Amino acid sequence: MSKARILVQGIVQGVGFRPTVYRIANSLNLNGYVRNLGNIVEIIVEGNEEIINDFIENLKLNKPPISKISALKVEWLLSYEIEFNDFKILESSSKFSGSSVIPPDLATCDNCLEELLSPSDRRYEYSFTACTDCGPRFTVIKSVPYDRERTSMEEFSLCPECLAEYQNPEDRRYHAEATCCPVCGPSLFLYRDKVLNLEYPLREAVQLLDDGHILAVKGIGGTHLVASVTSDDTLLKLRKKLGRSNQPFACMSPNVETIKTFADVSNVEEKILKSRNRPIVVLNKNNNYFLSSYVSPELHNLGVMLPYSGLHHLIFKYSTEPAYIMTSANMPGEPMLTENKEIIKNLEGVADYFLLHNRRIINRCDDSVVRFRGDDMTFIRRSRGYVPEPYDFSRLNADLKVLALGPEIDVTFSLLNEGKCYVSQHIGDTTKYETFRYLQKSIEYLMDITKTDSVDAVVSDLHPLFFTTKLAHELSEMFDCEMIKVQHHHAHAASLAVDNEVEEMICITADGVGYGEDGTVWGGEILHYQGAEYERVGSLLSQKMVGGDLTTRYPIRMVMSILYDHYEYDELLDLMKRNYLSYFKYGLQEVDLVAKQLLNDFNIAQTSSTGRVLDAISAVLQICGERTYEGECAMKLESAAYNGYEKVNIPVKIKKQNGLDVLDTSKILLSVLNEKLAGERVNDIALAGQKAVSVGLAELAVKAADKVGVNVIGGSGGVFYNEAISTSVKDTVESAGYNFIQHKNSCAGDGSVSMGQAAVAALHFS
């Protein structure tokens, strides 16, 4: 008779792993037990050695569908103090401190949905229906091991029927910690000035939505503002109340068939829409698009998701609407609202009614957002449905513990422990006090559930004034560890390299802003990435940026800055006043002021940012004159180019600047302006302008790759969310004979900068 102790790490808690072990062991007549041991699952089995080996293989092949095994260690025992007569599931213990974690929140499974919609089922129309295959995880857990008493469900005592399911290893709700029913679980209520006395609050809420009202709806990881997508009046009212005149709203639709009535859906997009993760997917509007133009003003695409909770499914059961606006009920960059009192307080005057519930949200978690470039998916925001599932960093460094804090605005943080890199949910803009506090609390939480008591290094951005940099200083002192600063675009390249398992490449890092080694604003860089080291081998031409950050909001200032050295002073003034006066907030006075600043070289920064060049092209073409949300001008340029034809050619010129190969973006902007003044179609010029920038970046990268002898070229940074630019760069690189890589399971934008910082630190210590 043989005995073995098996330790399993990965996503093995809260996914029905223990009952699966129980069933397999019983089917093979093995004795022993299984239990949660801190962050790990421990299995003791007794029986024939060959059968135990069969058990291990069976477990790997037939594990629960949403579980993931990252490590499985087998120890053959010569003796064991306990004799077994059967196989049992034991209570959890917190003695072990491995690095397995709970799974992310997952969409309602088919079995629960069937119960939800079946009039004969006791969970009929119950919004909080869940089991081991679906429902909230990350958003309800307080600590590990993942048991009900350590979740927000501890406040709801199980009724006899639910308890019987919960204690039955053969039931899919065995130790499903979110198990509940209308008798014993959370409940919905509708609020307006007071809790309304209604038998069916959800049905009343849907009627209010269809009557044109705006509702705040508390969900799994936060609160959405919900409104009609077909009523211009309702959407204009919502935009006015939020102060978001143009920012696109995400929406939710009941099924893919309905989505196809207003948007194009490819096979790969449909697959991810229907996945258990249920992210928002950015889709192109189709020719039959009939939703309000105020859903995503002046854009050719919109973000759409399918229902991922019982509450969402029931909303659509009682509505004939094709979709609803489902946008986060918080100001841009600020944390999602989770507590009922704060929801009511903060959204008073915005929402007409509040559909709330009494289950606490432990962890805020925004919706994830993805976009496809052809058949290739990239994350715009990696959050609900994916967090806290870690990345495997074991090949970089399996022993180091690192805390990386990301940039400052579109922040996530990353925690590296035992070769696993846990990237947090979307945090937001840490220049805002509440978001900064949210960052601090989230760090404490993630360190707690991963059993990380201390770290060997804290990593920050290179920028000395970022709040995250200051926090990194404080944390490095608290943990008495080294602090490492990583340049923004180096971190971008590192996240791409880890995602694609490459050690060296030429990386095009194209975005809006990143603090450069020389103290200027970078954002169009060609880097020779070599793990912990990099070399800047090319860039966009360094341009003046009059008024500093004002150019990011008013891109006409960038236009004047670029054109200044190529126009006579009076001629430039005349051009601005005659064609672009409305783009200057203070009119004639501001035009003269900007010109004098350029003349006197006063309050001028330097930038190689791709984002600023694309914004300038957008302004020159009179597509967008003011950025009211992140990326607006470049996004509207992309949408204009989407409807363009390849009728205009804009030349690309590479030259030297301070010994560096650079793309002459002045020449590109001058060509765009000349084509505009010559009367060419704006959409065609937009397409040509984008292409010139992308081809120029690609040619810089190819030139660098030729020089250093690297055969892989990558693209990272927010500009690579633009499908046309990504495709153009890819085609140019591959036609030159190089392999081109992009982000697959990480964000091209700043959401994966912390992951890249952690990777650089790991390599630094290797």
Q: pLDDT digit string (tens) for 501-556?
A: 999 999 999 999 999 999 999 999 999 999 999 999 999 999 999 998 899 999 99
Tokens 């601090």 correspond to: 440
Residue ranges covered by each domain of the chain: 2-89, 189-369, 386-499+749-765, 541-654+664-693
H or E segment to which residue 482 belongs = strand 482-486
Cβ-defined contacts of 273-277 (< 8 Å, 24+) = 273/304, 273/305, 273/306, 274/306, 275/107, 275/385, 276/66, 276/106, 276/107, 276/109, 276/134, 276/385, 277/104, 277/106, 277/107, 277/368, 277/384, 277/385, 277/386
Q: How confident is the model at residue 98 (pLDDT cuts 50, 70, 90)?
A: low
- Please identify, in words, the CATH class of the domain defined by 541-654+664-693: alpha beta
Among the options 23, 29, 35, 36, which is catalytic?
A: 36
Measure the CA–CA gap between 461 and 516, rounded to whole angstroms: 10
Fold of 386-499+749-765: Nucleotidyltransferase; domain 5 (3.30.420)
Upstream peptide bond of 388 is cis (omega within 30 degrees of 0): yes
- To the query of whether residue 172 is one of the catalytic residues in this protein, the response is no
Cβ 343 vs Cβ 191: under 8 Å = no
Q: pLDDT digit string (tens) for 163-177?
A: 999 999 889 999 899
Q: pLDDT digit string (tens) for 204-240?
A: 999 999 999 999 999 999 999 999 999 999 999 999 9
**In the predicted model, what is the mean pLDDT of the chain?**
95
- To the query of whether residue 18 is one of the catalytic residues in this protein, the response is yes
Fold of 2-89: Alpha-Beta Plaits (3.30.70)
CA 245 to chain centre: 23
Query: How buried is 298 (Cβ within 10 angstroms: 0-12 exposed, 13-18 middle, 19+ buried)?
Result: middle
Measure the CA–CA gap between 17 and 429, rounded to whole angstroms: 37
Structure tokens at 82: 């306990």
H or E segment to which residue 569 belongs = helix 569-579
Q: Which residues of 672-686 are buried (b: 16+ CB within 10 A; e: fewer)?
A: bbebbeeebbbbbbb
Structure tokens at 464: 């000395």
Identical fold, 386-499+749-765 and 541-654+664-693: yes
Measure the CA–CA gap between 668 and 666, rounded to whole angstroms: 5
Q: pLDDT digit string (tens) for 579-638?
A: 999 999 999 999 999 999 999 999 999 999 999 999 999 999 999 999 999 999 999 999
**Within 10 A of 763 (CB to CB), how many other CB atoms are there?**
20
pTM over 0.75? The answer is yes
**Is the CATH number 3.90.870.40 carried by domain 189-369?**
yes
Name the residue among 648, 628, 721 with its Cα closest to residue 691.
Answer: 648
